[in-house]
Amino acid sequence: MKPRKFTRRQVIAATSAGFLGTMINLSFKPFTIVNNTQVKKLAINGGEKVHPGTWPQWPVWDQSAEPGLLDMFRSGRWWRGNGEHVVEFEKKYAELMGAKRCLATASGTTALLTALNVLGVDAGDEVLVSPFTFIATYNVIFAHKALPVFVDSDPETFLIDPKKIEARITNRTVAIVPVHIYGLPVDMDSVNKVAKSHNLKVIEDACQAWLAEYRGKKTGTLADLGCFSFQNSKHLAAGEGGAILGNDEDLMDRCNAYHNCGRPYGAMKPVSGNAYNGLNYRMQQSQALILMSQMKRILKDNDVRLSNALYLDKKLKEIPGIVPYKLAEGATRAVYHMYPFRYIMEKFNNVPKEKFIQALNAEGIPCGSGYGKQNKDGLIEEAFASRGYKRLFSETRLKQWREENQLPGNDLLCDQAVTFYQSILLGSRSDMDDIANAIAKIYENRASLV
Ligand SMILES: Cc1ncc(COP(=O)(O)O)c(C=O)c1O
């Protein structure tokens, strides 16, 4: 098979046409695993790769950003304090997302730190959080000397299981941080309902969910505050960067003040001296200019990702032992920072997941294994052993925390999850066929992997 190389423009043109095709022509040809490619020897065992070609690279530079960046650098107005670009980006991002206000930050982590601070998370508090996530989601809780209490995941949706939230609330719980992991929207009505009945704040970790929708509204606009990341791998990338969205003017004024060394903002009372608490989590002008250029592509890219994800859903579920994610109740659009599925090794002759991943990589299909069991991270016990945590939380509470930190749904999910990175979904329809064919080939040849 000859290596196929596509320019990004060809890839996007091909996949956009495919998207329209799926929308207009709903007649889907069911996947069949009988074809010559699949019965051949596995690439990991010396056979031919199903996909010898390349995949779309990420991020993609937009040359139209260059004149603006050069002007800004030459002007010496590099920080938000004497430039207009960060404010311009905030206005555009709030409009795009349907939020009243946006505050740009240095990163997703600093967005979360600011949100937790402004919503009053304090030393000795408890915060309920999803365990199937990036380390930053719970590190920011540790940074506040609060206790992250992990709520079990629903392995079908890859998300926090809203039915399991209430049981983990104590009289110290102050907030919930649901995570729209991989751009899959959490059932926010259920989360908000529990939060309301216990007077808890809700911060959406939407760091992987730009323009995902829940009941037609954008994720990150559905709770007290929503936090985003614009780190290099993200759909909207600027190397580093972040944002907070919110509809409450007072809260957003306080976010602005906190991220800017405590300088009062908006309707906050001007004071002499330093009356307000705060740090420096400001976004730079260059980040904002890059983000505005990247914003030109995100809608179209998300359409391509969605179209290919829906295509893969149909193809992969035909393969025994492959279970694509299920959207949570109320989710109306996912944006796929990763395309996730579960690998049921029992259907693959008990071939371990790691071996399956190696075999799929060998076929030319890059894939990963999702998150580890973060609720068992070493950094947690390290924090508990510190002087501060010993003062803040009793032995009895930490013992109970350890006993309750058994999350069977999340354990199963971590054992079974396999993911494709978002730029894979920017490939062509035939690339998606290669993914399905490679998995089917591994299934057919599973006996040769043991
Ligand atoms: C779910 C989640 N939360 C928080 C973050 C932190 O964002 P950043 O890396 O921009 O600090 C990330 C970044 O990868 C993330 O994926």
The domain segmentation of the chain, as residue ranges, is 8-59+295-370+414-449, 63-293
Q: What is the DSSP letter of 179?
A: B
C-alpha distance from residue 128 to each of 141, 150, 158, 321 (Å): 10, 6, 17, 32
Task: Give yes or no for residue 150 CB within 6 A of ligand 1.
Answer: no
What is the rounded average pLDDT of the residues 130-143?
98
Specify the higher pLDDT residue, 169 or 31: 169
Which residues, in sequence order, are bridge partners of residue 67? none
pLDDT value, residue 200: 99
What band does 27 get if pLDDT is binned at 50, 70 and 90?
A: very low
Ligand 1 neighbour 419 (Cβ under 6 A) = no
User: Residue 433 and residue 15: Cα distance in Å, rounded?
Assistant: 12
Q: Is the pLDDT reported for residue 48 higher than 80?
A: yes
pLDDT band at 426 (very low <50, low <70, confident <90, very high): very high
Atom of ligand 1 nearest to the CA of 208: 16
Q: What are phi and psi of 227, to 5 degrees?
A: -115, 140
CB distance 114 to ligand 1 below 6 Å = no
Per DSSP, the three-state class of 176 is: strand
The average pLDDT across 174-190 equals 98
At 196-206, the pLDDT tens digits run 999 999 999 99
So what's the pLDDT on residue 440?
A: 98
User: How would you label 331-368 residue by residue, b for 16+ Cβ within 10 Å and e otherwise?
Assistant: bebbbbbbbbbbbebeebeebebebbbebbebbbbebe
Residue whose Cα lies nearest atom 7 of ligand 1: it is 108
Confidence of residue 324 (pLDDT cuts 50, 70, 90): very high
229 Cβ closer than 6 Å to some ligand 1 atom: yes
Nearest CA to ligand 1 atom 12: 207
Average pLDDT of the chain? 92
Any atom of ligand 1 within 6 Å of the Cβ of 179: yes
For ligand 1, atom 8, the nearest C-alpha belongs to: 108
Q: Residue 35 pLDDT > 60, yes or no?
A: no
**DSSP 8-state secondary structure symbol assigned to residue 411:** H
Give yes or no for residue 260 CB within 6 A of ligand 1.
no
Tell me, in angstroms, the distance from the centre of ligand 1 to residue 443's CA: 34
Q: What's the 107 CA to ligand 1 centre distance in angstroms?
A: 8
226 lines ligand 1 (CB under 6 A): no
What is the β-pairing status of strands 217-218 and 101-105? Answer: unpaired
Give the ligand 1 atom nearest the CA of 181: 1
Using an 8 Å Cβ cutoff, are 335 and 302 in contact?
yes
Cβ of 209 below 6 Å from ligand 1: no
Q: How confident is the model at residue 273 (pLDDT cuts 50, 70, 90)?
A: confident
Model confidence band, residue 104 (pLDDT cutoffs 50, 70, 90): very high
Which one, of 306, 336, 337, 342, lies nearest residue 321 by Cα?
Answer: 342
> What is the spatial distance between Cα 81 and Cα 78, in angstroms, rounded to a whole number?
8
**Ligand 1 near 294 CB (within 6 A):** no
Instruction: Tell me: pLDDT of 321 over 70.
Output: yes
Name the residue of 135, 139, 181, 229 whose CB sits within 8 Å of the most ligand 1 atoms, as the mutation to test its pocket: 229
**Is residue 287 in contact with ligand 1, taking CB distance under 6 Å?**
no
pTM value is 0.92
The mean pLDDT value for 330-343 works out to: 98
* Residue bearing the bigger pLDDT, 413 or 16: 413
User: Cα(216) to centroid of ligand 1, in Å?
Assistant: 24
The protein residue with its alpha carbon nearest to ligand 1, atom 10, reads 108
Q: For the chain, what percent of residues have pLDDT higher than 70?
A: 91
pLDDT at 26 over 90: no
Ligand 1 binding pocket includes 178 (Cβ within 6 Å) = no
207 pocket-lining for ligand 1 (C-beta < 6 Å): yes
Is the Cβ–Cβ distance between 137 and 112 less than 8 Å? yes
- Rounded distance from Cα 94 to ligand 1 centre (Å): 19
Within 309-415, strands assigned E span 322-324, 331-333, 338-343
pLDDT on residue 32: 44
Q: Which CATH architecture has domain 8-59+295-370+414-449?
A: Alpha-Beta Complex (3.90)
Best probe residue, ligand 1, of 177, 184, 207, 225 (max atoms within 8 Å of C-beta): 207
Closest atom of ligand 1 to CA, residue 107: 10
How close is the Cα of 384 to the center of ligand 1, in Å? 23
Supply the pLDDT for residue 271. 79
Whether residue 107 has its Cβ less than 6 Å from ligand 1:
yes
**Once rounded to an integer, what is the mean pLDDT over residues 297-303?**
98
Mean pLDDT to the nearest integer, 92-100: 98
How would residue 29 be classed by pLDDT, with cut points 50, 70 and 90?
A: very low
CATH of domain 63-293: 3.40.640.10
Tell me which of 14 and 162 has the higher pLDDT.
162
Give 262 or 2, the one with higher predicted confidence.
Answer: 262
Instruction: Report the C-alpha gap between 153 and 151 in whole angstroms.
Output: 7
Q: What separation in Å is there between the alpha carbon of 283 and the centre of ligand 1?
A: 15
Q: Indicate which atom in ligand 1 lies nearest the CA of residue 179.
A: 1
Per-residue confidence band for 39, with pLDDT thresholds at 50, 70 and 90: low
Residue 22 has pLDDT above 80, yes or no: no
